Chain A
Amino acid sequence: MTRGPRAPLVLLLLAAACSPSSPEPAAAPAGAGLRPPDPVAAIRQQHLPNIELTTHEGRRVRFYDDLVKGKVVAINFMFATCRLACPAATENLREVQKAFAGRADRDVTLLSISLDPERDTPEVLRGYAEAHGISPGWYFLTGKRDEIDQLRRKLGAWDPDPVVDADPQQHTGLVIVGNEPRGRWRAISVLSKPVRIEQAIERVLLPPSQWPTGEAAVQAAPYEESAASQRRVGRPAASDLILRD
């Protein structure tokens, strides 16, 4: 964990002890004359480590230099033996890839990173990719477990409960979409309707004047009412009625 410069304990205590009722003249502001950090550089530094990964085609690549730099990306975490969210996620992303296929103005790189890198060798991932009929521009990636873990955390796919965090299944529900040169990053559920993922990507990719808009964008997914919307149960249960003082 990185930590900023911190004054020695004793100095901090003295500062607190001063706690003046007539405020002392303020020290010169830190960072006087400096500018706020460049947000794109800050994101690269804090969130996009340049770890080494291997693609399902057996190519060795660097995460930042080769996969993300200058690109629009959609990133998810998966593993080949995952039977719950992953197959649906892969299917959704395949729909998204199809929607963008052949459009030069929609150049999106898909990155699916294995959370089970020992078992998910490049060969296993190639088999997975072939079984799901994916096209060029989509990389299934494996690497060193500790580095992938670090990458996952830096991309925001982590849980503060260590037990939950240790379960790879718990990180398979997100897709992180980003436009690296613009510094625009978001995450949505990879189990959203594919058209919603497609829209999310378009909105990091395109200038706002070209974003999908308005009623048409809303209606891109059909109107629905969830099961709770019309729930009627008759009289409330007695237990609902007696619990207040």
Chain B
Amino acid sequence: MRLTRRDLMKLGIGVGGMALLPGGRLLADGGSSDLPSSPSTTPFLVELPIAPIAQPVAPFATQPDPADCVNVDGSTAFHVHGPRVVPAGTRFFLLHEQARAHSFHPQLPPNVIWGYQGMSPGPTFLAESGVPFIVRFVNDLPENDPVGIGEPITAIHRHGGFQFPEDDGYPIDTFCSGQSRDYFYPNEADDLQVQNEHSTLWYHDHAIDITGPNVYRGLAGFFLNFDAIDSLLGEEDPNPNALRLPGRMTTLPSGEPFREFDVPLVVQDKLFDQNGFLVYDTFDHNGFLGDKFLVNGVIQPFFRVARRKYRFRFLNGSNARLYEFFMSNGQSFTAIGTDSHLLQHPVTVKSFRIDSAERVEVVIDFSHARLGEEIFLVNRLQQTTGRKPDGLVSPGTPILKFIVSRDAADPSQVPDTLRLVTEGPEQLLPGVTVKRTFEFERSDGAWVVNGDFFDENRISAKPHRNTAEIWELKSPGGWVHPVHIHLTEFFVLSRDGNTPPPLEQGRKDTIEIGADRGDATILVPWPNQFHTVPGPVAGRYVFHCHNLEHEDMRMMAQFDVQA
């Protein structure tokens, strides 16, 4: 069958990294400043890769943190902790950060990326509450890198995680080529409250001043957490209280464990030169945009699905680009989680918008599709600068093709109640006595929080543990800033004085402020206590803009939780 251009536009098929506007005009979807566009690539040639599950190793003796790795800003680690305390039942993991050839697309040459275990995204951790992890990350990145994107100095932040300051990837707590650092992840809900059980976290590089290029080069992966009701058994869980959301454990022919029907999807944009080599612009301080759209590390893949429900965990792992996703056939998403937590109740949406570092969990039901039907996940949010999105366009760019190829049993469900909040604004607000305002803005071309750059020696808030505070997050200059607060997850009280939209009524750890989204007033609970290894919640953590070019130009501040 020969498709006309009109057919294609109805199907919502863009071309390569470009979108077709009504009238057939081709429009570059972005690209950094004046750099040339990427070469064209045929969409949907490659099957969606799904990262392998990180496998535990035999216990090893944990070691003190290296203290002599010199950051690009000249600092060395602030938290230099001795060997970690290892509670009984802890699982051990060993991951190497490695340079390795990677195929972004069969029509582009292999590119040497930096990845955890040499892959991007890195292996997916599957954690269960109550079973702590020690993860040793080994920096095997080359000291002399011919590509020139990134620096071989790293710190690992488990984004959304509840962890001690020394395990949080504080930006100067780095380790260099040839060194390693042990991270202890307690895998416990903040203050052991069931409402705080985590769902979709991710881990990525967080080294000071170079997070943008290091993450762009590939240093990111998923960390999924399960608990008694949102369990690893998933849809097969016989526990009557289990949510039985789509997903179950199975085994691949290779013997490797595999999580089926529950699929993490990291969306990223990248730019390539005319020969197909990765491009990054170290002079771009507005926010680096690519014009190729990747899902799980490859450009515009396809994914064969069965006629049933799937759980998809979307992560925007882009440096500066926002997306708004639609299904090409007009069907809805059932949103079940935002950032690190499940929602209280599922929300049906026709589309969802996702800014850098945010996660949105959705259930997509293919049970009504025809066998052989092809359905596209389409980004309709156009963005041509790091400042903010331009707005919705039609038809947009399809980034992932679902091919409905088989039938499969579906014992999963999406219950009406997912994760109830028992200690929310109603309970916390009467005790609030502290309100702070943080303005994220541009000052004569540089990025500041309340007029200041990040300085390792400046504290911008001293909250007390086991209290809650109101923070007003403002972006006065018309720029979008995805603000990420480490350690805790917050409630959105209002948006420019109005009720927040449905997908902001759950907990968040990253929130888009500015432009059409407006300012946000949030309620920030400060946890009290670690239990797996007992200790008060205290110390220095950062909060920052997660547009990575803004972050690297020090649009970051820190709070020091008072014990």
Report which A residues bind B (CB closer than 8 A): 1-7, 9, 12-13, 15-21, 23-24, 26-27, 29-32, 34-37, 39-40, 42-43, 46-47, 84-85, 153-161, 169-174, 176, 183, 185-193, 196, 199-200, 202-203, 208-209, 211-215, 217-219, 221-236, 239-241, 243-245
B181 to chain A, nearest CB (A): 16
- Nearest to B67 among chain A residues (CB) is A214
B453 touches A203 (CB 8 A): no
Given contacts A36-B112, A186-B209, A231-B436, contact A46 B35 (CB under 8 A): yes
Q: Return chain A residues, CB-CB under 8 Å to B457.
A: 218-219, 221-224
- Nearest to B559 among chain A residues (CB) is A229
Asked if B40 is at the interface (CB within 8 A of a chain A CB), the reply is: yes
Report which B residues bind A (CB closer than 8 A): 2-3, 5, 8, 13-16, 18, 24, 26, 33-40, 42-47, 67, 70, 72-76, 78, 106-112, 146-149, 172, 209, 273-278, 281-286, 302, 372, 374, 384-387, 401, 403, 425, 429, 432-438, 442-446, 448, 450, 452-453, 455-462, 470, 478, 491, 493-494, 497-500, 505, 521, 553-554, 557, 559
Q: Which of B33, B47, B274, B505 contacts A153 (CB 8 A)?
A: B33
B445 touches A244 (CB 8 A): no
Q: Which of A2, A37, A156, A245 contacts B499 (CB 8 A)?
A: A245
How far is B460's CA from A236's CA once the two chains are assembled, in angstroms? 20
Q: Return chain B residues, CB-CB under 8 Å to A213.
A: 70, 74-76
User: Taking each of A192, A209, A211, A229, which has the highest tally of chain B beta carbons within 10 Å of its own beta carbon?
Assistant: A229
B122 to chain A, nearest CB (A): 22
Consensus secondary structure, chain A interface: loop
A190 to chain B, nearest CB (A): 8
B498 touches A243 (CB 8 A): yes
A17 to chain B, nearest CB (A): 4
Give 3 nearest A-B pairs by CB, closest first: A173-B444, A39-B148, A31-B275
B108 touches A153 (CB 8 A): no
Q: Return chain A residues, CB-CB under 8 Å to B453.
A: 188-189, 192, 196
B499 touches A243 (CB 8 A): yes
Q: Return chain B residues, CB-CB under 8 Å to A221.
A: 455, 457
Q: Return chain A residues, CB-CB under 8 Å to B107.
A: 26-27, 29-30
A31 touches B444 (CB 8 A): no
How far is B452's CA from A191's CA once the two chains are assembled, in angstroms? 10
Q: Which of B16, B45, B78, B459 contacts A26 (CB 8 A)?
A: B45
How far is B42's CA from A26's CA once the two chains are assembled, in angstroms? 9
A229 touches B462 (CB 8 A): yes
A124 to chain B, nearest CB (A): 22
B287 to chain A, nearest CB (A): 9
User: Taking each of A40, A189, A192, A199, which has the highest tally of chain B beta carbons within 10 Å of its own beta carbon?
Assistant: A189
Q: Return chain A residues, CB-CB under 8 Å to B478.
A: 161
How far is B47's CA from A24's CA once the two chains are assembled, in angstroms? 12
User: Taking each of A16, A208, A214, A230, which has the highest tally of chain B beta carbons within 10 Å of its own beta carbon?
Assistant: A16
- Nearest to B40 among chain A residues (CB) is A7
Q: Return chain A residues, CB-CB under 8 Å to B3.
A: 17
Q: What are 6 A-B contacts defined by CB distance under 8 Å?
A: A3-B37, A19-B374, A31-B275, A36-B277, A174-B285, A232-B433
How far is B425's CA from A2's CA once the two chains are assembled, in angstroms? 52
How far is B445's CA from A84's CA once the two chains are assembled, in angstroms? 13
B251 to chain A, nearest CB (A): 26
Q: Which of B8, B437, B445, B459 contacts A16 (CB 8 A)?
A: B8
A203 touches B72 (CB 8 A): yes
A154 touches B283 (CB 8 A): yes
A244 touches B46 (CB 8 A): no
A233 touches B458 (CB 8 A): no
A76 to chain B, nearest CB (A): 10
A15 touches B450 (CB 8 A): no
A229 touches B459 (CB 8 A): yes
Q: Return chain B residues, CB-CB under 8 Å to A5.
A: 39, 274
B36 to chain A, nearest CB (A): 4
A203 touches B5 (CB 8 A): no
Given contacts A217-B75, A230-B462, A240-B470, contact A245 B505 (CB under 8 A): yes
A151 to chain B, nearest CB (A): 11
Given contacts A20-B44, A218-B457, A232-B434, contact A36 B76 (CB under 8 A): no
A227 touches B146 (CB 8 A): no
User: Taking each of A227, A228, A235, which has the highest tally of chain B beta carbons within 10 Å of its own beta carbon?
Assistant: A228
B39 touches A30 (CB 8 A): yes
How far is B149's CA from A211's CA once the two chains are assembled, in angstroms? 21
How far is B498's CA from A239's CA once the two chains are assembled, in angstroms? 10
B103 to chain A, nearest CB (A): 8
How far is B462's CA from A83's CA once the two chains are assembled, in angstroms? 36
- Nearest to A48 among chain B residues (CB) is B283
B461 touches A159 (CB 8 A): no
Q: Which of A46, A172, A189, A212 contacts B448 (CB 8 A)?
A: A189
A152 to chain B, nearest CB (A): 10
User: Taking each of B42, B110, B111, which has the highest tally of chain A beta carbons within 10 Å of its own beta carbon?
Assistant: B42
A219 to chain B, nearest CB (A): 7
A224 touches B458 (CB 8 A): yes
A29 touches B108 (CB 8 A): yes
Q: Which of A36, A217, A225, A234 contacts B458 (CB 8 A)?
A: A225
How far is B39's CA from A160's CA once the two chains are assembled, in angstroms? 25
Q: Return chain A residues, CB-CB under 8 Å to B147.
A: 36, 39
User: Taking each of A39, A226, A227, which has the highest tally of chain B beta carbons within 10 Å of its own beta carbon?
Assistant: A226
A30 touches B459 (CB 8 A): no
How far is B462's CA from A234's CA once the two chains are assembled, in angstroms? 16
Q: Which of A26, A158, A172, A228 contacts B438 (CB 8 A)?
A: A228
Given contacts A17-B8, A228-B461, contact A244 B500 (CB under 8 A): yes
How far is B209's CA from A187's CA once the two chains are assembled, in angstroms? 10
A19 touches B44 (CB 8 A): yes
B40 touches A12 (CB 8 A): yes
How far is B283's CA from A185's CA once the two chains are assembled, in angstroms? 8
How far is B8's CA from A13's CA once the two chains are assembled, in angstroms? 8
A202 touches B386 (CB 8 A): no
B130 to chain A, nearest CB (A): 31
Q: Which of A39, A173, A196, A228 contacts B446 (CB 8 A)?
A: A173
Q: Which of B15, B433, B434, B554 contacts A188 (CB 8 A)?
A: B554
- Nearest to B111 among chain A residues (CB) is A36
User: Given A30-B108, A245-B505, list of 9 further CB < 8 A pairs?
Assistant: A26-B106, A31-B108, A154-B283, A186-B282, A196-B455, A213-B76, A243-B497, A243-B498, A244-B499
